[in-house]
Each structure stands twice: as structure tokens, then as C-alpha cells.
Structure 1
Amino acid sequence: MHAQAMQQLKHDHDFQAHHTKGESRTRWVLAISFLTMLVEIAAGVYFGSMALLADGWHMATHVAAFMITLFAYRYSRIHADDQTFAFSSGKVGVLGGFTSSITLGMVAVIMLVESASRFFNPHNIHFDEAIMVACLGLFINVVCAVLLKEHDHHGHDHDHDDHHAHGHHDHNLKAAYFHVLADALTSVLAIAALLAGKYFALNWLDPTMGIVGALIISHWAYGLIKETSPLLIDASAPLAYKTAIQQLIEDDADNRVADLHIWRIGPGHFAAIVSVVSHQPNTPDYYKNLLHSARHLGKGNQLSHITIEVNRCPGDSCPNTTQGATHD
């Protein structure tokens, strides 16, 4: 077969979300967070402040999450053309986001346990130092949030080398953004509780705000897990998409869909394997053209990799309705 014809039949297997700006900004966030962590831990040891030490080690969990984010970016970029992956290394970033969401959930659990314990074992709060630490943490996290949000954590990037990312969710960057938001939320709640404790003797607000923050962070972590886990386990497309694709094919001539599999292969990308049975079968390209209107599935999703199997129906044995179709 002619080489040009072979080239035209090949699929593009690059289904990564390329975000060079997101990676660059995450490096800055990591550097800022790491320096803040060192300062807080050193100051906590020097001044004997548990508040400083606690915030420093809390910051360390976010530093670890940012390192996961950067590792996922670098690994995906290096292995972009690695044939070991069936559909490129696009899911590595999703795995990074899933892992970071787990660490986010662990931070929430630690906050919840520590806050609950302080109801039964109240600590002597050094309000001035604690407020200073909370204000410093809030300032740092606002700077980091601006860095990540300017890129837009929903993944819209208009650089020429980021064309695959347009309209797709970068779960890796979103996880990093949520870590920054979690820290900022903790600081805001802490400042409110500490001011109330210092000026109105409402010390019980300190652990209460900790519990409120832990519950909100848990909600964020759960939402990110729900977004990333279906991609990692090759979850099928929503039933409405599958039904629409089947209908497009079966509304044409006497075609029947005998088998249909649709699953996510990367952020915003779906693959489909369709087995068509017909008395008068056409070429695979014909059926791919039928699905052209279904390529864009809404919310930045698209049917990016389509494989069509065409079978001639022997005699009158083909079903006359869609009841014979089987799905994944």
C-alpha cells in the first residue's frame, strides 16, 4: 500500500493535556511554598511556637503534592511518544491529580482529628504569634493562587504548543490549585477564630473552624476523586452519548450496532469501537462520517479515536430492531 495512504489511515495517539505554563507556574508555587515551610519550621523551633511548627508541617504536605504535580507533568512530556502506552501518557496527569486528591483528603482527616481533640484537651493559644503565622500563610497562598489561577485551573491554554489542552480539564493542575485553596481557607478560618478568641475569649471557635475547614477540604478532595477515578478505570461514556451514537448509525439504511464500547482515553478525549451489521454494508469511513456530528460530546469532550468493524448480515438473520445490540 502507498505510504501516503497508510499515513492518512493512522490515528493521532497524543491525548495529553499539554500545559507548559501550568508546569512553569507550579514550579514557582513549589519554590515559594518550600521556602515558607523552612522559615516556619525554623521559627517554630527557635521561638518554641507550636503554631508555627504545625503550620510549617502542614505546608510540607502541600509541597509534597506540588512535587507530585511536577513529576506527572515531566513524566507525561518525556513519554509523550512512548509506544508502551496504548493511547499516549495522557492519563499520567490524571493519576497525579488523583494522588494529590488523596493527600488532600489525608490533610483534611488530620485537621479533623486534631481539631476534635482540642475540644477535650484545650491548648494554651499564643494569639499574637498564631495570628502572625496565619496572616503570613494567607499572603503566601494568595500569591500562589494568583499564579495558578491566572493560568486557569480549568485548563484553557492558548499557547501554540498547548493546542491539545484547549477546553480540557487539567486534573493535575486543578489538584495543585485545590491544595493552595485549602491552605488559604485554613488561614482565613484561623484568623477569624484567633481574633474572636483574642478579643472576645471565644477560644472554642479555634477547633470549630478547624472542623469546618476539614469538612470543606474533604468535599473538594471527594469531588476531584470523582472526576479523576473514571478516567483511570476506563469508565464508559454516559448512556446518553452511547445512545446518540448508536442512533446515528441505525437511522441510516438497515444498519444495526452489534457491539459498542466508548471510554475515556485522556482529559476530554473518548475512544469508540463500533461493530456494525448491515445487509448492504459500507466502508468504515462511511460510518465514521455518520458519527461526525457526535465527535463533539459537549463540555470540551470529543470522540477522538474511532474504530469501525463492518459485517455483512447473512440472509434475513439480522435483527430489525436495536434490541440485539450489546454494549460494554
Structure 2
Amino acid sequence: MAVTAPDTDPLTHDHVFLGAAHDENARRTRWVVALTGAMMVGEILAGWLTGSMALLADGFHMATHAGALTAAALAYAYARRHALNRRYSFGTGKVGDLAGFASAMVLGIMALGIAGESVVRLFEPVDVAFTEATWIAALGLAVNVASAFLLSGDLGHAHGHDQGHRHRHDHDDAHDRTHDHRAHRGHDNNLRAAYAHVLADALTSVLAIVALLAGRYLGWVWLDPVMGIVGGLVIGRWSWALMRDTAGVLLDTTDAAVAEEVRETVEGPGDARIVDLHVWRIGPEAHACIVSIAAPTLDAEAIRRRLAPVHEITHLTVEIRHAANLASA
């Protein structure tokens, strides 16, 4: 008698970890890219024509902002287009980190160029058209404020998809595995980072305005290249931090805080011990967790329920190893 294979359709699931506000955030980002790109070109040209390094630094700093947002916009589009592509084992949630790492390297080189040119002009001053440069810097500040307004709508209220899929395999009475996709709510960290960078741009614009006004009314011409150096340092610090953070995500570094929470949650009652644990980020709002547990009296579903409060985990794989099998493990 032929054996009919079980129907697994109800157990299948995807690996889409895009937030509910993904498309809205992408649209906001595209608008800010267009607005900032236009202002960036204007500031750089004005800084070059007026001889203001502070204005040039502000323009290039705005370029870092425009570049980062452009990468984010492209990442949004690529992640959406390939969200169901099975080539990506854990979805496309890390595309933004890849784009961020690449842009950070370019921004670091740009920061060195700005700081170097500012040092040269500190010792070899050039004439600066303070009035015209001040008006351009003020316009740049207005663009930064407008960009912040565009990005702040619904910021912090984006929620993840209800993944709601569960897939379980019971291999034998010694090993149970459960594959779980739970509902997750959180922030779009890429959008939050873009918003914070807009605020940093606004601060740089304020520094440029201060330097230009001081040069015009107090004769402190030296303050303009000094602010250029400060702008270069700000860009360099931001690019280094971005490279460090995105590299950690791309290399699947362990999220120590979430891993510790998992360990305390599983081992707290005293009836289970973790044998092996891996926790890493797979998207802006999502973490994956693979945990192997020695628990003689528990099954995988019990561990899954126990870990339900750890909301950072959106993709959970549990292996139960009973005492009889530990010696052969």
C-alpha cells in the first residue's frame, strides 16, 4: 500500500522581515534624497565660489547625508524586490547594512579630504564672501529642518509584520526542533539613524553660520577653516561608527544583551541548560536565534513558549537534547 506524503503547505513560511512601514519609509527617504541632493550641490558650489571652507564642509557633510539616504533608498527597493527570493536564507533584512558599510568607506575618505584642505587654509587664508556664504548656509539649515520634518512623521511607530508562521519537526523522542516566526514590533532603525544624521547636519550648518558671522563682524577669519576641521571630524566619526556597526551586523556578531536574556529565560527555572546558543541580527528589527538545550522533561514547544517574551527574536530554532543522548552528542 502506497504511503501518502503529508500535506506540508500549512507549515511552510517565508523569511520576510520588512516592517509594516517599509514602503512609507522608502517614499519619505526618496523625497529627502531629492531635497538634500539639490541643496548639497548648491552649498558645495557656493562654498567653492565664496572660498568658505566651513560652507564646503557643510556641503560635503550634507553629501554624506544624501549618500547615506540614497543607499538607504536603494536598499529599501532591493529588499522589497527580493524579499521572497529563496537565495537569501534569512531574507533581505541586512541589505541596508551592506549599503551603509560601502558608503561609510567613501565618507571616511571624504572626511580626510575636508580636514586636510581646512588645515591648509588655516595657514594659508583665502578671501571669503561672508555675506553670500552665510545666506547659503542658512538655506542649508532650512533644508535640514525640512528633511527632519519629512523623516519624523510616524517615526518610532513602524511595526514589524506579524510573521505568525510556525514550522516544527519531531525527529525522534531524543531530539525536538521547532522553527518559529513570531509577531514582532519595533522601530525602523535605518530611518531612525537617517533622522539622527539630519539633526547632525543641522548642527554642522549652525557651526558654519557661526563661523561666517564671526568672520564678517569680528574679523575671526581663522574660525572658518577651524569649523571646516570640525566638520571633517564629525563626518569621520560618523563614518567610523557606521563602519563599525554595519560590519558587526554583516559578520553576524552575537547580540550579547539578547543572548543573555535568552540564557536567563531558558535556564531561570532550573530545569534546562543551554548547550549551544547563537543570536544575531537578520534585519533592522529582527534577530535570529538557534539554541540547543539539555532538558530531560521539556519539549521544543515548551521552550518556545518560555522564550515568547524575548520580543527581539523573530526567527527561532530550538533543539532539545535529552539526557540519554548527551553522551553520544
What TM-score results when the alignment is normalised by the length of structure 1? Answer: 0.77
Seen in structure 2, the aligned counterparts of structure 1 residues 267 and 159 have a Cα distance that, compared at 3 Å, is: closer
CA–CA distance in structure 2, aligned partners of residues 21 and 101 of structure 1: 25
Cα-Cα RMSD: 3.6
CA–CA distance in structure 2, aligned partners of residues 288 and 165 of structure 1: 15
SS in 2 for 1:86: coil
CA–CA distance in structure 2, aligned partners of residues 98 and 246 of structure 1: 31
**Percent identity (aligned):** 41
SS in 2 for 1:272: strand
SS in 1 for 2:91: strand
CA–CA distance in structure 2, aligned partners of residues 192 and 160 of structure 1: 46
Is 1:67 the counterpart of 2:85 in the alignment?
Answer: no
Match of 2:225 in 1: 207
1:174 Cα deviation after fit? 4.1
Match of 2:286 in 1: 269
Deviates more, 1:187-196 or 1:17-26: 17-26
Picking from 311, 316, 319, the partner of 2:321 is 311
- Superposition map of 1:17-28 within 5 A: 17=19, 18-28=21-31
Can you list the C-alpha shifts for 1:17-45, whole angstroms capped at 9, x where unaligned?
A: 45222211222122223333455577789
Match of 1:88 in 2: 91
Is the Cα contact below 8 Å between 1:76 and 1:92 reproduced in 2? yes
Picking from 206, 209, 216, the partner of 1:191 is 209
Can you list the C-alpha shifts for 1:126-182, whole angstroms capped at 9, x where unaligned?
A: 112211221222222222222123343xx5326999xx88423432x3454355344
| Residue segments in structure 2 that go unaligned for 5+ positions in a row | 163-182
CA–CA distance in structure 2, aligned partners of residues 29 and 234 of structure 1: 31
Match of 1:16 in 2: 18
- Superposition map of 1:103-114 within 5 A: 103-114=106-117
Match of 1:224 in 2: 242
Is 1:170 the counterpart of 2:171 in the alignment?
Answer: no
| Residue segments in structure 1 that go unaligned for 5+ positions in a row | 297-301, 319-323
Greater RCO, CA 8 A, separation 6+:
2
Is the Cα contact below 8 Å between 2:276 and 2:291 reproduced in 1? yes
Is the Cα contact below 8 Å between 1:94 and 1:228 reproduced in 2? yes
CA–CA distance in structure 1, aligned partners of residues 103 and 192 of structure 2: 10
Is the Cα contact below 8 Å between 2:57 and 2:114 reproduced in 1? no
Match of 2:253 in 1: 235
Match of 2:300 in 1: 284
CA–CA distance in structure 2, aligned partners of residues 96 and 151 of structure 1: 24
Seen in structure 2, the aligned counterparts of structure 1 residues 216 and 271 have a Cα distance that, compared at 3 Å, is: same
Equivalent position amino acid for 2:34 in 1: A
Equivalent position amino acid for 2:140 in 1: G
What TM-score results when the alignment is normalised by the length of structure 2? Answer: 0.77
Is the Cα contact below 8 Å between 1:15 and 1:90 reproduced in 2? yes
1:99 Cα deviation after fit? 3.5
CA–CA distance in structure 2, aligned partners of residues 42 and 316 of structure 1: 69
CA–CA distance in structure 2, aligned partners of residues 44 and 105 of structure 1: 20
